[in-house]
Amino acid sequence: MLKFIFKIGQLSIVPALVLVLLGLRQEQDRVVTLKRKLFEQYKESVQCLITGTSHTLNGINPTLLPVKALNIAEESKAVEIDIEIIEKNLHQLPNLRYVIIPVDYITFYFTGKREGSAAKLYHHWNLKHGFINTYSIKRYHVFTCGFRLNECNTDDQRDTIMGYRPEFKDLSKASADYRLHKYQRKIIDWNEHWIDTSCAPMIYKRMVNFISMLQQKGIQTILVTMPVCKPFYGCLDPILLNKNKQFIDNILRATKAKYIDLQINKVFEADSLFFDIDHLNDKGAAIATGIIGDAF
| Residue partners of 296: CB distance under 8 A and separation at least 6 | 48, 65, 66, 67, 98
Helix (H) or strand (E) holding 186: helix 176-189
| Residue partners of 294: CB distance under 8 A and separation at least 6 | none
- Residue 146 is predicted with a pLDDT of 47
Domain boundaries of the chain, sorted by first residue: 18-293
* Report field, pTM of the whole predicted structure over 0.85: yes
Q: Domain 18-293 has what CATH class?
A: alpha beta
The answer to whether residues 20 and 142 touch, using CB atoms and an 8 Å cutoff, is: yes
Distance CA 181, CA 219 (A): 42
Walk along the chain (296 residues) and give the pLDDT tens digit of each residue. 556 555 655 556 666 666 666 666 666 677 778 899 999 999 999 999 999 999 999 999 999 999 999 999 998 899 999 999 999 999 999 999 999 999 999 999 998 776 667 777 887 888 876 665 665 545 555 555 444 445 555 566 666 789 999 999 999 999 988 888 899 999 998 988 889 999 999 999 999 999 999 999 999 999 999 999 999 999 999 999 999 999 999 999 999 999 999 999 999 999 999 999 999 999 999 999 999 999 99
